[in-house]
Copies of this chain bind each other. A is one copy, B any other.
Amino acid sequence: MPIYKAPVEDTLFLLDNVVGYEKYGNLPGFGDASRDVVEAILNEAGKLAEEVLQPINLSGDREGCKRTVDNGVETPKGFKEAFRAYTEGGWLGLSFPARYGGQELPHVLSSAVSEYTSAANMAFAMYPGLTAGAVAALLAHASDDIKTAYAPRMIEGRWTGTMNLTEPHCGTDLGLLKTKAVPQADGSYLITGQKIFISAGEHDLAENIVHLVLARIEGAPAGVKGISLFVVPKFEIGADGAPGKRNGVSLGSLEHKMGIHGNATCVLNYDDARGWLVGEANKGLAAMFVMMNEARLGVAIQGLGQSEVAYQNAAAYARDRLQGRALTGAKAPDKPADPIVVHPDIRRMLLEMKAFNEGARALMLWTALEADVLHRSPDEAQRKAADDHLGLMTPVLKAMFTDLGFQNAVKAQQVFGGHGYVGEWGVEQFVRDARIAMIYEGANGIQALDLVGRKLPKDGGRAVMAFFKTAGDLAKQFEADEAMKACAAQQTKSIGNLQQATMWLMQNAMKNPDNAGAASTDYLRLFGLVALGHMWLQIMKAAQDRRGDAGMAEKMDARFATGKFFFERMAPETSLRLQRIVTGADTMMSVPADMF
């Protein structure tokens, strides 16, 4: 059976020593979240993940969601009880405004919590995760009436949320969408069309399901400028605020998919379903983007979570499984064989995972704190800088965390050998579950285009220049530290590679936009490796600083060695990425389409 232990200790180490949680203490809401409160909350969340969610992960995968005779969906055994535990614990409202029933605690806390819940049970965590995303979109764009009618019940977890973008003929290119909305005399709209791949689209966890739906108001302009956002509840809201009449949205089918079997992925048919406009007409995409950006960071966290849980299982197996002898002679001569953790190639895989997990966790926490600054700081300059940071990092985290999260699940599976391919150890489930995160909420290729085409040139490159300066200064500073010299020098080199790639893009993407497309995926990974390096230098410094704490030497040395491994074996990939980028698009564009 798979195991999971929430990495609360590492989260706290990073908050305290790397991302400087205490520096944010003046932000509204942070006063209620003292260091003690943070620790208590993370411990509680860890317990929830370990004791409630993880035990129903494997069974949820085996059992899957089932269509019921009355066209509903039955979630796997235990999901209902777990959802009750989750919502009654107040986890859904952790960072939402108090006036809607939330606890207004820092966003960084809900991000940390969501790592644990996603790691323990990704399919489950999507139900509350999508609900939180939908609430965020409503709070940002809906009328006060809609906010008041929906937000409190969703935060309570009595109702859940979904996002409805994709149609059979369009996913990435929403300009093609056909679902139509016909205005009614009472201000509502009747929505008709078909949406596919709707996560949590139908289930038995809540009294109502609140669909956020992109549709085209009759007569609206073609393309993305004619798309509006609607809130369409499964049951219309009665005068008493409670769910009433069944709305015209119904389950078309349940998708048969590779993983996340515990989450119901639905085809939803809208047939004159009553909906209400959220935000302005024809500005639906902008409104939906609030939910999408939220969701993209959530998906990045899923990648990290799957990588962490896969790593933990692989590490435990490697310490346990006796097979062969160390190349340098028996390490456990009293046993029939040595544990496979003695083998360098097993350690290589474990360290690749560990170096990603700890660096990515730091990067995620830093980014989440910047989201808190953006939403809470009274200082406009601070907010602007935070907005720049988020804009830049959102595609990087989404794509890199999910690519590496998946690859790490595959690596963990490799550590298990044949036992990784069969179901009982649960590790093949991590691979199947993690795979979707590279695809949904904007496939990773789209994230790379977003980074290169939009985020990089925005405001004359202000965001990326600020990041280069921050990262460059830090690397220079640590080059003076004897123990970290070589690592800092590699980081300086990585930053140089990134700057050269950026320069190349500035010079070559203008004259041929295909050069940007051809470079995009390599550029995003190069960027991400620099960002991980930026975190690792700080983690290594913190590990040195805390090495003298009672009983901490071995742990801190392991952190330091993991950082060294990152700079020796992973950061050099930045040179390869640069080399690929500067070859441009010519070769790949020269092949006629029908020669593929």
Contacts and interface: CB of A to CB of B under 8 A. Distances in A.
A440 to B, nearest CB: 7
A361 interface: no
Interface in A529-584: 554-555, 557-558, 561-562, 564-565, 568-569, 572-573, 575-576, 579-580, 583
Interface stretch (A3-11, A420-428, A467-475): A420-428
A344 B443 contact: no
A16 B65 CA distance: 53
A258 interface: yes
A413 B339 CA distance: 36
Interface stretch (A24-32, A134-142, A431-439): A431-439
Given A328-B512, A354-B596, A554-B592, A445 B345 contact: yes
Contact of A587 (B414, B555, B568): B568
A344 B515 CA distance: 8
Interface string A167-180: 00111110110000
A256 interface: yes
A444 B348 CA distance: 13
A418 B596 contact: no
A588 B344 contact: yes
Given A449-B345, A565-B588, A589-B344, A417 B432 contact: no
A558 B591 contact: yes
A591 B354 CA distance: 12
Most buried by B among A336, A344, A444, A576: A344
A352 to B, nearest CB: 10
Nearest to A448: B345
A319 interface: yes
Interface secondary structure of A, over-half rule: helix
Interface range for A:
35 or more
A272 interface: no
A521 B414 CA distance: 13
A122 interface: no
B439 A417 contact: yes
Nearest to A576: B576
A569 B576 CA distance: 9
Contacts of A319: 593-594, 596
A73 interface: no
A71 interface: no
A322 interface: yes
B443 A414 contact: yes
Contacts of A449: 345
B423 A431 contact: no
A420 B171 CA distance: 13
Contacts of A435: 410, 413, 421, 428, 431
A594 to B, nearest CB: 7
Contacts of A406: 410
With most chain B CB atoms within 10 A of its CB, the pick from A341, A413, A520, A588 is A588
16 contacts: A171-B417, A172-B417, A197-B418, A257-B428, A315-B596, A319-B593, A343-B445, A344-B520, A345-B518, A347-B589, A414-B439, A554-B595, A558-B595, A565-B587, A575-B575, A576-B576
Given A176-B336, A421-B436, 10 more contacts: A176-B323, A256-B424, A328-B512, A328-B514, A345-B520, A345-B521, A406-B410, A418-B440, A555-B595, A558-B595
| 7 A-B pairs with the lowest CB-CB distances in the bound complex, closest first | A344-B517, A327-B513, A558-B595, A344-B518, A315-B596, A258-B428, A568-B583
